[in-house]
Amino acid sequence: MRDNLKFSLESWPEAGLKVDFVLVPSVISPYLEAAVTEDGEFSEADPPQLASSMRGHLELQLFGKRLRLVGAFSVKVEFNCHRCLAAFVDRLGDNIAETVELVRDDREPDDESGAAVRIINNEFDLTPLICEFFWLAWPMKVLCRPDCAGLCLTCGANLNEGPCSCHKTQIVRH
């Protein structure tokens, strides 16, 4: 079980590698926070709070300067429901099947796909790429449960906890 996703090309086996990994939140969080603080889609959001270590497995095969990754990851994350705003913990994970270009130092990738991993001192780190897969797995709408009743539009009461005191039946649904 690996605690990092850094690999050396000097000792790369011709048959490729099969690795199981566990990345603790302190390793992953800086990459996730960087994605949130950059100008972009997540710039107004708070960084996600991880409730467990990220666990996964990868099969890595090198083809010239291309690296094929096949595997999966899973991690528990603290979410806020989009309907009732309640905090809850759920598992986020996804399968991985990607081919990336390995690019030495500060050179630009040969193709325009943008999927590239930098090689520095004959080593590369897949942690930033795994964090990209984390963001790609992030749900568009997060619900604490499929039948979440949401909030009362009048008084703001959580309708999952019972009817509100204003007796309105309007429900906030996005």
**Stronger pLDDT, 30 or 97, i.e. the higher one:** 97
Please report the pLDDT score of residue 85 as a whole number.
93
Please report the pLDDT score of residue 111 as a whole number.
56
CB of 55 closer than 8 Å to CB of 21:
yes
Is residue 45 predicted with pLDDT exceeding 60?
Answer: no
Domain range list for the chain:
6-143, 147-174
138-167 residue pLDDT tens: 998 999 999 999 999 888 999 999 988 886
Among residues 54, 90, 87, 83, the alpha carbon closest in space to that of 71 is found at 54
101-140 residue pLDDT tens: 999 876 665 555 557 899 999 999 999 999 999 999 999 8
Quickly state the pLDDT bin for 2 (edges 50, 70, 90).
confident
Q: Distance between CA 58 and CA 69 in Å, rounded?
A: 6
47-76 residue pLDDT tens: 789 999 999 999 999 998 899 999 999 999
Please report the pLDDT score of residue 32 as a whole number.
83
H or E stretch at 68? strand 66-80
Please report the pLDDT score of residue 44 as a whole number.
47
